[in-house]
Amino acid sequence: NAGVTQTPKFQVLKTGQSMTLQCAQDMNHEYMSWYRQDPGMGLRLIHYSVGAGITDQGEVPNGYNVSRSTTEDFPLRLLSAAPSQTSVYFCASSLGAGGYTFGSGTRLTVV
């Protein structure tokens, strides 16, 4: 039982490049979320999903796309990376009634 797996752990991108941060969970959780963590800003919700085929925007969705084609996977796409997207990204999942299980994070630097 791996929990929530995020890949990659570290990534450096050039401004304008695109990439996908992967998130997979093996707990059959319906709810999945993406957060970014910036100094002094805490955890801010980017996008979330309540089940396969259903996604919604969070507090800071601009510049990011998500899709949820399966219960297990919830990838986060950066369309055209900007230095302002330098951050640590966390994926999390939940059954709904309990707390969220977080992945180990992806540290992204955009130069």
Partner 1 sequence: ILNVEQSPQSLHVQEGDSTNFTCSFPSSNFYALHWYRWETAKSPEALFVMTLNGDEKKKGRISATLNTKEGYSYLYIKGSQPEDSATYLCAPDAGGTSYGKLTFGQGTILTVHP
- Binding residues (CB under 8 A) for partner 1: these are 31, 33, 35, 40-45, 48, 50, 56, 58-59, 90, 92, 94, 96-105
Q: How far apart are CA 25 and CA 68, in angstroms?
A: 12
Is the Cβ of residue 16 or residue 96 nearer to partner 1 in the bound state? Answer: 96
In DSSP terms, 33 is beta-bridged to 48, 92
Rounded to a whole number of angstroms, the minimum distance from the CB of residue 2 to partner 1 is: 13
The H-or-E segment that residue 12 falls in is strand 10-13
Question: What Cα–Cα distance (Å) separates residue 105 from each residue in 53, 56, 69, 97?
Answer: 24, 21, 22, 23
Is the Cβ of residue 81 or residue 103 nearer to partner 1 in the bound state? Answer: 103
Is the Cβ of residue 11 or residue 37 nearer to partner 1 in the bound state? Answer: 37
Rounded to a whole number of angstroms, the minimum distance from the CB of residue 14 to partner 1 is: 27
**Tally of CB atoms within 10 A around 21:** 22
Is the Cβ of residue 21 or residue 81 nearer to partner 1 in the bound state? Answer: 21
